[in-house]
Each structure stands twice: as C-alpha cells, then as structure tokens.
Chain A
C-alpha cells in the first residue's frame, strides 16, 4: 500500500537548537497535514498544505510542501520545552481517500 516515510524517528536537541522532520512519499500527494502528539496525549492537527511549493509559518514552526508534492518538512526554530512530543505528517493520495500517517518523529528537548 501507499506509505509516507518520516525521518528521523527520534531527535534529541538542546533547548534553543533548531529541529527538522521530513516526510517522503514515492507517489504524488494531494495534500499533506501535520499533527502534534504530546506525551500521553492524542494527535492534534497543526496545519494542512495543498499547493506545490507551499510554505506556511506558525510562529517558530515552518512547514513546506515540495514542488513535486512528494515531500514535506516541518522546521522548528529555537526549540522550547513546550515543543516536546511526536510530530506526524499525514498524506492523502486523492481527495477521497483517508490520510496515511507517517510513523512520526519524537522530539525531546533538553533544558
């Protein structure tokens, strides 16, 4: 089946360092969403990207969708302890199919 590959699986950073997680698909995506799951919590929607080459920002978070709509990234500038959690990308291969979730990147921030 279709898969969305996400790397790295884990990332440990010092507070204040930057963090990036990447998602890749072998086939073109219709759109991609990003979710955050705090430890012990549930996935919470962050953002959706639809257009080729799209870039969106939410404060210290920058989301990009590749030109070929096969990859995406989430970059956090100057991480804080509140950024701790697992970040998931979720892609859709057509408008009428459910999201396919990546396995997530677990971020630890050391104060």
Chain B
C-alpha cells in the first residue's frame, strides 16, 4: 500500500480564499483523523471519522473549518475563508481498529500539507 496520501504537499493562498486539503487513507482502514501541527500548539486533533461518519469535531477551531468523508477512500478539510493564523502543517492519519481499541492502535500519518496563508 502507498500509505496515507495527502494533497497538495504545499499550499500558499491569500487571506480570504477557500482552501481544500485532501486525504486518501490506507485501504481498509476504518478511522481517519485530521490534525493541525504548529510550533505553539503541537499536534492538535481537529476531527475524526469512523466508517466515513464524523465522530468528534470538537477540535475544529471555528466554523470556517469543515471536513467531509464522502467515501472510505477520500476525505477533505476545507477552510473558508482562510486567515493567516491558519498557517500550519495539516496531517491526515488513518488506523485500522480491531474491536474497540481506538487508542490502542498504531496511527499512520500522511506526508502532510504545509499551508501558508498570506
């Protein structure tokens, strides 16, 4: 398997523009996570899905952020409108959970999208 695939790798956009980040999880994995990484806050969990259904979006910072998972092989994280403080590296991760051990399973991260909002 190619692993978790994210696109684009780098995105530079102007404040106010819409940004869409994409993720393809590992085939067969049943959980998908979106994280944001900054120097100040480290790795923050934004939202996660189980079998394409959003389970917890309490980490989404504002209504400007939204995420979807229309099928098992694709997810998007959208920021509209974008602001300079959204500049960060955004990671997608997927896991295959056996039974109920959500926190007991290795997470596979994508390469990340480095977002710069100017």
Contact = CB atoms under 8 A, between A and B. Distances in A.
Interface of A: 30-31, 33, 35, 41-45, 48, 50, 88, 90-104
A49 to B, nearest CB: 11
Contacts of A92: 102-104
A56 to B, nearest CB: 14
A99 B104 CA distance: 8
B104 A95 contact: yes
A42 B111 contact: yes
A48 B100 CA distance: 17
Interface of B: 33, 35, 41-43, 45, 48, 56, 91, 93, 100-104, 106-112
A96 B56 CA distance: 12
A90 B42 CA distance: 12
Contact of A102 (B42, B48, B101): B42
B90 to A, nearest CB: 11
A99 B102 CA distance: 8
B33 to A, nearest CB: 7
A42 B37 CA distance: 10
A95 B43 contact: no
Contacts of A94: 103
Given A42-B111, A101-B43, A104-B42, A95 B106 contact: no
Given A88-B43, A96-B100, 4 more contacts: A30-B103, A31-B103, A98-B45, A103-B42
Given A42-B109, A44-B109, A98-B33, A93 B43 contact: no
